[in-house]
């Protein structure tokens, strides 16, 4: 969560069109209460056992994947920040870090973060969190994708909103 809080303070630029300031409270509740409490309760419950069906090498691969997905998510947020100068609403078309395939690569990578986490822990509530998160991010991604297509006449035709080649 430290990464998310630092990004909120130092990277995100709030505006009514893209990220209304009041969303900070909604997002914080989502991550701190829903994820922190629900997933934390089951992960730290005395009867929790880690998945035995995942070999140790796969667990290491999931840890590396998780770290990679977090890095990509951070790079996407930084790219989006750099597209808009402070105090303006003008922005450009994002490039790199997955933006060649989807309009909202930051949401794609965040989904991958939570998917790798869910597989690693095998915790049912982490999968529920993943589904709720994906649903919300897909909704935002579709809206942003449509805004990009209206705003930029030269917007890449083959880009999807959040899932490469699918959605």
Over residues 10-62, the pLDDT tens digits come to 555 555 555 566 666 766 676 667 777 788 888 888 888 888 889 999 999 99
**Cα separation, 149 vs 93, whole angstroms:** 10
> What residues have CB less than 8 Å from 95, skipping those under 6 apart?
79
The predicted structure's pLDDT at residue 18 = 55
The predicted structure's pLDDT at residue 48 = 83
Q: What is the pLDDT of residues 123-145, one digit of tens each?
A: 888 999 899 999 999 999 999 99
Strand partners, 15: 19
The predicted structure's pLDDT at residue 87 = 75
Closest CA to 104 of 84, 71, 80: 80
**Cα separation, 19 vs 37, whole angstroms:** 25
The pair of three-digit structure tokens given for residue 12, joined into one six-digit string: 């995100």
The pair of three-digit structure tokens given for residue 101, joined into one six-digit string: 């395939």
Predicted TM-score of the model (pTM): 0.83
The predicted structure's pLDDT at residue 107 = 96
**Cα separation, 41 vs 113, whole angstroms:** 20
The predicted structure's pLDDT at residue 3 = 60
**Cα separation, 43 vs 83, whole angstroms:** 39
The pair of three-digit structure tokens given for residue 94, joined into one six-digit string: 């994002």
Q: What is the pLDDT of residues 80-128, one digit of tens each?
A: 988 887 777 788 999 999 999 999 999 999 999 999 999 999 988 899 9
pLDDT at 9 over 60: no
Contacts 24+ apart (CB under 8 A), 85-91: 86/13, 89/15, 89/17
Whether the Cβ atoms of residue 11 and residue 3 lie closer than 8 Å to each other: no
The predicted structure's pLDDT at residue 79 = 94
**Cα separation, 161 vs 125, whole angstroms:** 26
């Amino acid at each position: 969560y430290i990464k998310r809080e630092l990004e909120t303070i130092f990277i995100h630029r709030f505006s009514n069109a893209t990220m209304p300031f009041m969303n900070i409270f909604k997002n914080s509740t989502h991550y701190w209460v829903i994820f922190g409490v629900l997933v934390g309760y089951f992960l730290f419950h005395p009867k929790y056992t880690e998945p035995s069906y995942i070999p140790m090498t796969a667990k290491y691969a999931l840890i590396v994947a998780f770290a990679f997905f977090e890095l990509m998510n951070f790079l996407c947020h930084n790219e989006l920040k750099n597209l808009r100068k402070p105090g303006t609403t003008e922005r450009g078309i994002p490039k790199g870090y997955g933006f060649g395939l989807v309009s909202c690569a930051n949401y794609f990578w965040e989904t991958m973060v939570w998917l790798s986490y869910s597989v690693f822990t095998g915790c049912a509530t982490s999968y529920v969190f993943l589904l709720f998160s994906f649903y919300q991010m897909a909704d935002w991604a579709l809206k942003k994708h449509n805004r990009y297509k209206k705003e930029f006449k030269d917007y890449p035709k083959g880009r999807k909103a959040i899932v490469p080649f699918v959605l």
